[in-house]
Structure 1
Amino acid sequence: MTMKSTPPTSSMGRLRPDPGGAGALRREFGVAHAQEMFWHWFLGCDLLHVSQKNCFEMFGATREEKAYVGPLIVFLAIMFLGQIPGWIAPRSEWWVIAKPGYWVIPLQTVIGTVLLARYWRIYQMRFPSWCGIWFATLIGALALILWIAPQQWLGFAPRLIGFEPHYFGGPDTWMYWFNLVVRFIRLVIIVPLIEEIFWRGFLLRYFVDDDFTSVPMGAFSWTSFWIVVGGFCLEHSFADWPAALLTGALFNLVAYRTRSLSACVLTHAVTNLILGIWVMRTGQWGFW
């Protein structure tokens, strides 16, 4: 959606020696993301197959297909790129390699913004009705409860390792605020837009009719429902599958109930915004 004790750091953002070393940190911080990358790329290749285009023919896709699919593919490619230095130098403690999220997330945010702006008119984002806004907000809050329930109320271990805004310094430094602001922009704006444009705007309609632009938003079929719910589940880490499965179904419900892509984006944004606030209050950085 996404998605602790603070690991030892210096004011310059380099890891101080600790019993587990950089390898242990990467096992906790990077392996989950590497697993996530596997599923992302699996889904991406499957999508290209479904679109009857192999990877080398993607640039022959229609402008609409590029608009709905391209931002997610680029988003995932950048995330995959961030894992490569760690594979080459797995023992490195340099933050660029040991904690790639601190450059991957800003890069995703900038490039994602550029791509969304380029194709914005194609998405035909329409302001939902007030009833749709309330429904989307309610479902977004309900989805948040599903995500935090295991740690908040069911006694599951807290998820403390992840993207920490204070990695390079505290609130008295500009890097803290840069990390925090960029993280929230990605979490609340870029991710909801890119994911909902793909899952609900494209795939939910594509499996009704492959000429997806002729399919009205919110058109229902059990095939498209389960494919989108399953895909949305698989793009998350294994520990998140129960919540992701239910969240995918709820977000689909918003599409069916409101017939509005912007309402789906709002639902996702509400969930992520409250999640981000909860993460800041609890220090469970592994949730985002």
Structure 2
Amino acid sequence: MSSRKSLPPLLLAYTVPFVAFMLFLAVEQGIASLGAESGQWWLATPKYWVFPLQTLVCGGLLLYYWRHYQFGPLAPGWIGVLGGLLILAVWVAPQAFLGFSPRQTGGFDPYALGTEGAVPALMIAARFARLVIVVPLVEEIFWRGFLMRYLIKEDFQKVPFGAYSHLSFFGVAGLFMLVHSQADWPAAFLSGIIFNAIAVKTKSLFACVTAHAVANLGLGLYIMTTRQWGFW
């Protein structure tokens, strides 16, 4: 009887945190749908406990697999900073500059469970940890570190980071768009193009993570300033 082959550790390292991240999103949506009329906040709005748990679990997975990641040269980090600012502008331009309606409904309101004391502070801290640390690492490791290379060659570790093909470049940008809400598709697609361009230009996963972190930090500060919780 032949034994079943296990998945290579490198493949797991680049995909498992993202898969776990997406599973948490599905669980949150499922609980919210089933518990909408329950009258219990933890069932009707599970994002306030599912997302912090998601942050802890995915952060733990990143630490577990950390030795497998190669972030490339650090010098192009400044390109990541500039790219992140450009991506931030893409996301906030409709409301900030073009007169679109503010996105003040829905999303993650850190004051929903209380406006004073430790609860809102903990909600804000958890949200920024997710937004600025976990999301940039999980997504860039998967999208640029894995999938852009995998779409060029199945044995992705033999493909240099930042290698280009039409399929990998535009395919990843399109898929990156689709995992966002429909209202965010234009900004998400343009962001995917910019992230991919940074990868191709710099050959540095570090630059891509930096761009994502800068964009998300700026967006988080914009959200807190304008209270447009619908952005997140």
Same fold (TM over 0.5): yes
How well do the aligned residues superpose, as a CA RMSD in angstroms?
A: 1.4
Shift of 1:201: 0.2
In structure 2, what is the equivalent of residue 91 of structure 1?
37
Match of residue 82 from structure 1: 28
1:183 to 127, 142, 149: 127
- Could you say what secondary structure the match of 2:193 adopts? helix
Map 1:1-288; keep pairs closer than 5 Å: 60-129=6-75, 132-161=76-105, 162-170=107-115, 172-288=116-232
Question: Does the CA-based 8 Å contact 1:188-1:269 persist in structure 2?
Answer: yes
**When the two structures are aligned, how many residues end up with a matched partner?**
228
Percent of residue pairs identical: 47
Counterpart Cα distance in 1 of 2:129 and 2:55 = 7
Alpha-carbon distance, 1:76 to partner: 1.1
The answer as to whether partners of 1:78 and 1:108 remain within 8 angstroms in 2 is yes
After superposing the two structures, state which structure 1 stretch, 118-127 or 195-204, moved more: 118-127
Listed one character per residue, the Cα deviations across residues 93-115 of structure 1 (whole Å, up to 9, x for unaligned) are 32112211101111111001110
1:95-152 Cα distance to aligned partner (Å, 9 max, x none): 11221110111111100111000000101234511xx121110110001111011111
Displacement of 1:239:
1.1
**In 2: Cα distance, 1:63 partner to 1:155 partner:** 48
Give ranges in structure 2 of 5+ residues lacking alignment.
none
CA separation in 2, counterparts of 1:154 and 1:93?
38
Where has structure 1 moved over 2 Å in runs of 4 or more? 83-90
How far did 1:60 drift? 3.2
1:87 deviation in Å? 3.1
Give per-residue Cα distances to partners, 1:169-218, cap 9 Å, x unaligned. Answer: 22x41111110001000000000000000000000111111110011111
Contact 1:128 1:258 in 2 (8 A): no
Measure how far apart 1:90 and its partner are. 3.0
Per the alignment, in what secondary structure is the counterpart of residue 103 of structure 2?
A: coil
Structure 1 range deviating more: 81-90 or 240-249: 81-90
1:85 CA drift (Å) = 2.6
Gaps of 5+ in 1: 1-56
State how far apart, in whole Å, the 1-side matches of 2:73 and 2:41 are. Answer: 42
Distance 1:127 1:273 in 2: 22
Native 8 Å contact 2:21 2:54 kept in 1: yes
